[in-house]
Amino acid sequence: MISFNYETEFRLLAEERISNWVTRCIEEEHHNIEEINYVFCDDDYLLKLNVEFLNHDTLTDIISFDYSVGKLIQGDIFISVERVADNAKDYNVEFNTELNRVIIHGVLHYCGYKDKTEEEAKVMREKENYYLNELRVD
């Protein structure tokens, strides 16, 4: 089950479409979904989590808490819509494109992908692009 929660005025326009897309991506990665909670928030909300749980006093676009066991995906994904909007401007892409990239980025972490090294980040970006293209043809 995928749920969408809001700690800001922002609302996804196509929750069911995004939920179906994320589910298909997880299945294509040979995992099963138990529960993912997306929480859309602002910079201040996410900064508090970043400081409290990760000891990072910096702004970020996403924090994911992974409770997965083996191939059974479960977790909470917090997304700052303010940071996504700023990143979309910085990368010269549409807001929804950047938002969907972040949405799938968290799931890819749950599926075992990392992005700490340059090579890992390259693989992660390729996977993000692949699944973004899957959503576009949906």
Q: Which DSSP string do the residues of 83-125 spell out, in sequence order?
A: HHHHHHHHHT--HHHHHHHHHHHHHHHHTT---SSHHHHHHHH
Q: Is there a binding annotation on residue 66?
A: no
Contact between residue 38 and residue 72 where contact means Cβ atoms under 8 Å apart: no
Q: Which residues on neighbouring strands pair with residue 65, listed in sequence order? A: 76
Question: Cα 80 to chain center, whole Å?
Answer: 10
Q: Is there a binding annotation on residue 31?
A: no
Q: Is there a binding annotation on residue 109?
A: yes
Which two three-digit tokens encode residue 68?
A: 């997965």
Annotated binding site for Zn(2+): 105, 109, 115
Annotated binding site: 105, 109, 115
